[in-house]
Structure 1
Amino acid sequence: MSTFSDILKALPSAVEEQPPLLKYINVFMAICCALAAMLAAAGWFWDKVFLIYMAFVPLALLPMALGKC
């Protein structure tokens, strides 16, 4: 008769790995957010409206990345 630990070892593992595409999407989203924050901070520091408006470009790319999920 099998013991509980033998049955437990025979069961498939319940750990599911994250799909690789999702990892890359998370990195892309983090880079976009960081770039937008840097552009906004630089525009505020140097008093350049153009840099502040350029901060919206990486933020506009986020819905495109979310559509790939």
Structure 2
Amino acid sequence: MAGDAAQTRAAADSFRIYYEREDNADAPDGYAMSHSPALYLISPEGDWLGQFAYGTPASEIVADLQARL
């Protein structure tokens, strides 16, 4: 699901995420998106539960998820 430009900016701002469209003639659609690299864990109710930095081993993420079950 995606929102319009204002909704996307509001969501990015709420998570303090950087993103920017960059023209790139070599990309299939003619552009690429530069963005913050992170994985966010959000509850079904919309509560922030945690964040994993880029490069976090999958085993660490799985262990965190299993501990929450």
TM-score bracket, normalised by the shorter chain, equals under 0.3
More helix by share: 1
More strand by share: 2
Q: Give the TM-score, by structure 1 length.
A: 0.24
Q: Which has the higher contact order (CA 8 A, sep 6+)?
A: 1
Q: Give the TM-score, by structure 2 length.
A: 0.24
